[in-house]
A and B are shown apart, each in its own frame.
Chain A
Amino acid sequence: MIGILQWTTLAVCGVVTLARIPSALRGENRSLFSIFALATLAILLSIDGPYLVVDRALGGLNIANLVLRFVIFAAIFFLGLRVARGFSADDALRLITGPIGIGVAAAASAAVVAVFLLMDTSGSSAGMTGIFAKDPRNAALVEYYGAAGRLYPAYVTAALFPAMLRTFRSRFPALVRSSAALMALGTVGICLSLLSPVIPPSLGILRYVFNYTAALCLILGLALIWLAKVLAQRAQKKQSVLTRW
C-alpha cells in the first residue's frame, strides 16, 4: 500500500518532468521545470531502495536525508513564488519573500542542520527509521528533525492557502479551479503531516498517506494548469471570433 503510493507519486512526477523537457529547452518557464525536477528528486530520495543507493555512495551517514530536506525547501520556495505570482496573491508573495518568510526558511534550515549534527546518523536508513530505533535520545531528535523539515513547506503552502481557495471559488476555467482545489488539498496534507509526532504508531501509515498525497496533489495541480493552458491555446487558435454582445 505504502509502496504503491510512493512509486505512483514518483512515476507521476517523473512523467511530468520528462514531458516538460521540450518546453524547458524552448526556454518556457524553466523554473517550473526545475520545480518538477526537484520534486522528482525529493520523492526518489524518500523511497527506501533509491535512498540506500544514494546514501551509501555519500558515506552512509544519512547525508542524503539532509540533502532531501534542502531539495524540498528549494522546490517549495520556487513553487510558492510561482503560485503566488500566478494567482496574483501579493499578500502570500510578501509572506514568502519578505523578512518573515526568509526568517522562517533560515530558522528551519538552521534547526534541520543543528539537529542533524546532534544525532548519531551512522547507518543509512530512509526516513531515518534506523536512527529512531537506536535509543530514546536519538528517537526524540529524529522527531524534532522531521518537524523542522516540515515547518517550512507548511508555512509556504499555508500562506498560499487563501489564494488557492479564492482561485477555486472564482470563475476561471474549470481545469484551473480544479488545480487550485488540488493544491489546497495538498496544503491540507502538508499541514496534517505536522501532526506526525502525535500520530500513534498503530496509525503510522497515516504519515505516509499525508506526505505522499500532499506531494501528489501539488504536482498534479501544477500539471493541470499546464494542461489547461495548452488546451486553451488550442481552442483560441480555432476560434478567433469576437464575443457577441
Chain B
Amino acid sequence: MPISAKAFQDWLHQAAPSASTADICRISGIKRTTLAQQLVRGKVTETTVVSISRALGLSPLAALASFEQFAELASPAPPPTPAELVSQVATMDLLRVVISRSSPVQGGDGEEGGSVLPALSPAPHATSVRNWVDAVDDGELRHRVSAATGVAPQNYSAQLTANRLSPELAFATARAAGVGLTGGLVATGLITEDEAGWPPGAKQSALEALSNGELTALAGERLQALGKSLRRQEQEQAQTEKIWEHLG
C-alpha cells in the first residue's frame, strides 16, 4: 500500500509549512514532473518522502513512521542481528577480509579478528536484498510473506533476483521474520545504515565475530552464487548474440 497523496500533503505541510512545491523539488532534487505525476496518481513513493526529509534535515525513518502503514517504525526497533549485518557486507569486501586474515602481507596474521579490517563499503551492495532475505529466512518466510501480502511467491523471487524489493514487501518481510523492521529498508537502499539507527562499526564487529571457518564458508557461498549469476549472464549474452547474428 503506497503512501496516499493526501497523507503526503498533510505530512509535507507539517514538515515544511512555508515551502512551495517548487522549493521542495529544488532542494530535494526530485523532478517537478515526477512529483506532480505521483500526486495526480494519488500514490507517492517512499523514495520521494525519504529524499524530501533528507533535504529538510529530518530523519527519513521518523518521516516514514508518520505514515499509517509504517507507523510501527516509530517504536524502538531491536538492533540488527549479526546475520543481517554480515548480509550487508559486499561480496568483494568479504573476500578482502578473507585475504587479510590469511596473509600477513595484507596486514593480517591469520588470527580471528586479529587483523586490521579494510574499510567496508556502505549498504546496499549488488546482491544485498537476496542476502538479507536469506539471512532472516527460517525456511518458511516466503510463504508467510506471501500469505500476509498476497504477493505470489514467484513475483517475490523475481524481485529478489533483480536485487529489488518494494518498501512494503521489505517491511512485511522483516515483520514476518520477526527482526528489526529497518533491515529490509537498508538492504533495498531506501535508507542508510546510519538513518536506520544501526550502530557505526556494527558490520565490522559482526564480521570480526565470525570464525575463519564461518567466514570462508560464507565467502564460498557468495562466490558460488556470483559465479552462477555471471554464467547465466554470459549465456544470455551468447544467446542474444546468436539472435543478432541470424535475425538482425
Residues in A lying within 8 Å of B, measured CB to CB: 29, 32, 82-83, 85-88, 170-173, 176, 222, 225-226, 228-230, 232, 243-245
Contacts and interface: CB of A to CB of B under 8 A. Distances in A.
Given A243-B233, A245-B91, A86 B247 contact: yes
Contacts of A176: 240, 243
B155 to A, nearest CB: 14
- Chain B, interface size category, equals 10 to 19
Given A171-B236, A244-B126, A245-B91, A87 B243 contact: yes
B150 interface: no
Interface of B: 91-92, 126, 226, 233, 236, 239-240, 242-248
B246 to A, nearest CB: 4
Contacts of B248: 29, 225-226, 228-230
B239 A88 contact: yes
A82 B92 CA distance: 42
A85 B244 contact: no
A243 B247 CA distance: 26
B246 A85 contact: yes
B226 A172 contact: no
A225 to B, nearest CB: 4
Given A86-B246, A226-B248, 12 more contacts: A29-B248, A32-B247, A86-B245, A86-B247, A172-B236, A176-B243, A225-B244, A229-B244, A229-B247, A230-B248, A232-B244, A245-B92
Contacts, number: 48
B92 A172 contact: no
Given A243-B233, A245-B126, A226 B239 contact: no
B123 to A, nearest CB: 15
A225 B248 CA distance: 6
A85 B242 contact: yes
Given A244-B126, A245-B126, A173 B247 contact: no
Closest 4 CB pairs of A and B: A229-B248, A86-B246, A86-B247, A85-B246
A142 B92 CA distance: 70
B126 A86 contact: no
A69 to B, nearest CB: 25
Nearest to A229: B248
A82 B244 contact: no
A236 to B, nearest CB: 11
A222 B246 CA distance: 11
Given A225-B247, A229-B248, A245-B226, A86 B92 contact: no
Given A29-B248, A225-B247, A245-B126, A86 B242 contact: yes
B54 to A, nearest CB: 24
Nearest to B126: A245
Contacts of A173: 240
A220 to B, nearest CB: 13
A214 B226 CA distance: 43
B236 A88 contact: no
A172 B243 contact: yes
A39 to B, nearest CB: 14
